[in-house]
Amino acid sequence: MTSVNLAPRPSKKQVAQNGQKLQQVFQSIDVDSCPRSYNFHMHTIFSDGKLKPERLMEQAIAIGLKGLAITDHHSTGGYEVAKNWLENWKLENPDNISAAPTLWSGVEINARLLQVEVHILGYDFDPEHPSLKPYLTGQAPQGEDYRGANVIAAIQEAGGLAVLAHPCRYRRASAAKLIPEAARLGIDAVETYYSYANSNPWHPSPKQTKQVKELGNRYKLLHTCGTDTHGNSILLRL
């Protein structure tokens, strides 16, 4: 398959409609959404994953995903490759275009929240926006850029949605403390459906899901899901 992207860039109207669609999807996410309908947490060789973006997209289409995001650490390189691949796939498969999933921009950023290092996911942002320049260098941010409030603000200034990743994975602070603080800083959503035990087959951890969902609802946050893929299958974490 050619790597040349022949598709035109989307208009501002199309971008706005895409953003509204993502919020609607987040409002519909439930325990059964991931990993075969949506997957919003995946890594490629552009950070610490094993999959090439092209192979990830092939799996997404084979599985029948409706939508996804590649969330490499401090990089959108995998997303850019996947976006070009998907546009070319559509051009080469005009009779099967309904099988193409929606691909949103994504990233995972290290940040400090309550003196704890957490990960903040960003979605549907403009990768070329100046606010994100300190966060797309391939390295974790430093200094003021490392503050959770600044990471959240940078994602939102670029038109995106900010999400607290796997809130129950942090040993130095509980989800019960981190989620209210993230909400106070204006975060948009929490990663509610996550497999903390790395189960095979993948399924959200019931106890943590219940807690995060209740906290998210209390603070009027949206909910997301993702396998946090680092291995060779987007249906699993490892």
Are 53 and 46 a contacting pair, CB within 8 Å?
A: yes
Are 166 and 191 a contacting pair, CB within 8 Å?
A: yes
pLDDT in tens, 37-96: 999 999 999 999 999 999 999 999 999 999 999 999 999 999 999 999 999 999 999 999
Its domain, for residue 196, covers 30-225
Does pLDDT of 196 surpass 60? yes
Does pLDDT of 193 surpass 90? yes
Are 8 and 87 a contacting pair, CB within 8 Å?
A: no
25 in a structural domain: no
Rounded average pLDDT over 123-130: 98
| Number of domains present in the structure of the chain | 1
Mean pLDDT of the chain: 93
Rounded average pLDDT over 189-214: 98
233 in a structural domain: no
Across 6-15, 20-29, 209-218, least confident range: 6-15
Strands (E) across the chain are located at 38-39, 67-69, 102-104, 106-113, 116-123, 161-164, 189-193, 222-225
% residues pLDDT > 90 (the chain): 92
21 in a structural domain: no
pLDDT value of residue 226: 98
16 in a structural domain: no
DSSP string, 82-135: HHHHHHHHHHH-GGGGGGPPEEE-EEEEEEEETTEEEEEEEES--TT-GGGGGG
Rounded average pLDDT over 4-13: 38
In the block, tokens 């610490």 appear at: 48
22 in a structural domain: no
168 in a structural domain: yes
Q: 19 falls in which pLDDT band (50, 70, 90)?
A: low
pLDDT value of residue 20: 85
pLDDT value of residue 182: 98
5 in a structural domain: no
Give me 52's structure tokens: 């090439």
Does pLDDT of 232 surpass 70? yes
pLDDT value of residue 116: 97
Q: Count how many Cα atoms sit within 13 Å of the Cα of residue 182 in the half-sphere of its side chain.
A: 38
Task: Round to whole Å and give the CA distance between 195 and 193.
Answer: 7
Q: What is the CATH number of the domain that holds 56?
A: 3.20.20.140
pLDDT value of residue 1: 35
138 in a structural domain: yes
